[in-house]
Amino acid sequence: MSRSASIFVCSGCGHESAKWHGRCPGCEEWDCLVEQPRAPVDRGRGAGGAGRGARPLVPVALGQVQAPKVARLSTGVGELDRVLGGGLVPGSLVLLGGSPGIGKSTITTGALGNLAAAGRRVLYVSGEESAAQVRLRAERLGAGALSVPIVAETDLDTVVATLEAERPEVCVVDSVQVLHAAALTGAAGSVGQVREVAGRLMGVAKRLGVAVILVGHVTKEGALAGPRVLEHLVDCVLSFEGERERTYRTLRALKNRFGSTNEAGVFEMRDEGLVEVEDASARFVAEATRAPGSVVLCAMEGSRPLLVEVQALVAPTELVPPRRMANGVDRNRLALVLAVLARHAGIGVGSADVFVSLAGGVRVDEPGADLAVALAVASAVKGVTLGGGARPLAAFGELGLTGELRHAAHPDRRLAEARKFGLEGVLCPGDGLPSLRAALGRALGEASPAARAA
């Protein structure tokens, strides 16, 4: 009987089995067997001793290790380069994750188009779409994208052979979940397959110095087998976020061996592809509604300040318990802000639905958003427009459980950004505002009586 080329290994206890089981025979956990290639038989190893023919290595001081400075490859997409830490590093493996339809293929095709136009050798491996489909997208993106060489293939061995023959400097694999390694029997996209595909491509990337961008799908919960299991393997994990129905999308680095993970880029999906939004703050401030329930938040997107409108709606309801909807801010953070508002500022929303949303589909995951959310809710409850003058009110700061206002990172950058767009009198920690109550006093005190809606 022929030995199969793969075995199934329990990711918990390490139990090996020739067949797949739903439940591990070793530790009796469910759904933990992962397929992997059978290791070559090594007969020479004795227990504890060195293997046959193995010679010891001589360690070298790090200072003496040869590390030639390599120039990064600019993708021509400024925001992408910034998130990568200054461009693609040759020979690196980048994982670009995002939910379906967010624009992963669009941004990678655009980047390859720019690289090709700059005289770089590039290759686009499309497993999901036919070459004709990719061409249709490239037509939208312009002349540079049309010069990108493409292969439509899902067999891993063929892709590796093509890479070896073509030796591109940058290669995009769209997506890692559809490539199939013939050595394993599992379906494409299974944990074993995805790991094997990424492992083999990494070997090729390092050996030939090809920068490989792996595209991967993540479900809303980020749970799908695939990208998550690769995070430790690749050099850089980028996440493309946003909602398909909204125009703005954010690109963030979750892990980067060659740069900071604090950077984020903002894009807008247009006819001609993803366009970088360099002046996102200007847009959001101009679009701010200036109605009761609206406050401008001075947020930080990585090392870059961003002004974004927070909107709140408070409406009476018969529902028990009432609804608490948060779009772009953390739900638990909203619950905390509502509790602090009720307990320390006397503004309760007990039997009302509360909706809080950030404009343009932006997501802010920092506690510095608390004060702006609290002010927006208070403004919605009271039915007054905050800010008084012609410009909207801006705020930032974290709320403590005792109602105190706490320091948020990079206050000077946030204030400078607000000033740049003509927002004065920003409510923030320090500045004589020790608590939420004091901030509310100032915000509501300044609300113009004419603006009182109720």
Ligand X SMILES: Nc1ncnc2c1ncn2[C@@H]1O[C@H](COP(=O)(O)OP(=O)(O)OP(=O)(O)O)[C@@H](O)[C@H]1O
Residues that bind ligand X (CB under 6 A): 98, 100-106, 128, 140, 217, 244, 269-271
- Minimum distance of ligand X from residue 286's CB (angstroms): 22
Number of residues that bind Mg ion (CB under 5 A): 1
Contact status, residue 436 vs residue 374, Cβ threshold 8 Å? yes
- Report the partner that residue 269 touches, choosing among ligand X, Mg ion, none (CB closer than 5 to 8 A by kind): ligand X
Report how far residue 375's alpha carbon sits from residue 272's, in angstroms, rounded to the nearest whole number. Answer: 38
Name the residue among 415, 410, 412 with its Cα closest to residue 296: 415
* Closest listed residue to residue 292, CA positions, set 113, 444, 138, 142: 444
**CB closer to Mg ion out of 105 and 193:** 105
Tokens of 13: 């206890």
Length of the chain equals 454
Spatial distance between the Cα atoms of 350 and 316, rounded to a whole number of angstroms: 9
Residue with smaller CB distance to Mg ion, 105 or 294: 105
281 binding Mg ion? (CB under 5 A): no
Dihedral, 89, 93, 98, 101 alpha carbons, nearest 10: 90
**DSSP assignment, residue 328?**
S
Q: Per-residue contact track with Mg ion, 47 to 86, x per CB under 5 A?
A: ----------------------------------------
Report the 10 Å Cβ neighbour count for 268: 17
Nearer to Mg ion, 128 or 166 (CB): 128
Residue 82 touches which of ligand X, Mg ion, none (CB < 5 to 8 A by kind)?
none
x/- mask, Mg ion, residues 92-111, rule CB under 5 A, reads: -------------x------
Smallest separation (angstroms) from Mg ion to the CB of 220: 17
Instruction: Give the one entry of ligand X, Mg ion, none that residue 331 binds, where binding means its C-beta sits below a cut-off of 5 to 8 angstroms depending on kind.
Output: none
Give the sign of the dihedral formed by CA 179, CA 185, CA 187, CA 192: negative
Q: Nearest distance from residue 148's CB to ligand X, in Å?
A: 14
Tell me the Ramachandran region of residue 226: left when phi exceeds 0, alpha when psi lies from -120 to 50, beta otherwise.
left
Which residue, 269 or 338, is less far from ligand X as judged by CB? 269
- Measured from the CB atom, is 98 or 292 closer to ligand X? 98
Find the shortest distance in angstroms from Cβ 138 to ligand X.
Answer: 11
For ligand X, the closer of residues 124 and 396 by Cβ is: 124
Q: Residue 323 binds which entry of ligand X, Mg ion, none, with Cβ cut-offs from 5 to 8 Å by kind?
A: none
Q: Which residue has the tokens 């925001």?
A: 79
User: Sign of torsion, CA 330 436 374 395?
Assistant: negative
CA–CA gap between residue 120 and residue 239 (Å, rounded): 25
User: Of the two residues 106 and 435, which places its CB atom closer to ligand X in the complex?
Assistant: 106
Minimum gap (Å) between residue 86 Cβ and ligand X: 24
In the complex, minimum distance from the CB of residue 79 to Mg ion, in angstroms, rounded to a whole number: 19
Closest CA to 8 of 193, 216, 229: 193
Binding site for Mg ion (CB under 5 A): 105
